[in-house]
Each structure stands twice: as C-alpha cells, then as structure tokens.
C-alpha cells in the first residue's frame, strides 16, 4: 500500500511540475539569463 501511494505521489509531483507556468511581467526577473534561454522561453510562450 505504501509503495502504491509513494508511486502515485511521485507521479502527481511530476504532473504538477510539467504544468507549472509563471507569467513574467518584469524584464528584470530575467537578468542574468543567457540569450539561448531567453530565446527558448520566448518560443515556448509564443506557442501557448
């Protein structure tokens, strides 16, 4: 029983992590990120 619950918990955490989104409205929050990361984030945002 504990093993099943542990597995289900892990699956739920993974699902929640995949669905997490954060809206960035202040460009200062992105300071220090490499240009490649910014380009990837922009592409992902545009696809939504």
Q: Give pLDDT, residue 23.
A: 92
Using the 8-state DSSP alphabet, how is residue 47 labeled? T
Q: Give pLDDT, residue 48.
A: 80
* pTM summary value: 0.58
pLDDT in tens, 5-48: 999 999 999 999 999 999 999 999 999 999 999 999 999 999 98
CB crowding 15-47: b at 16 or more within 10 Å, else e? eeeeeeeeeeeeeeeeeeeeeeeeeeeeeeeee
Q: Give pLDDT, residue 7.
A: 98
The answer to whether 24 and 30 are in contact (CB under 8 A) is yes
């Amino acid at each position: 029983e504990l093993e099943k619950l542990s597995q289900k918990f892990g699956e739920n955490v993974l699902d929640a992590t995949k669905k997490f989104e954060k809206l960035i409205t202040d460009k200062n929050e992105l300071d220090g990120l490499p240009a490649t990361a910014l380009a990837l984030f922009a592409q992902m945002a545009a696809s939504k």
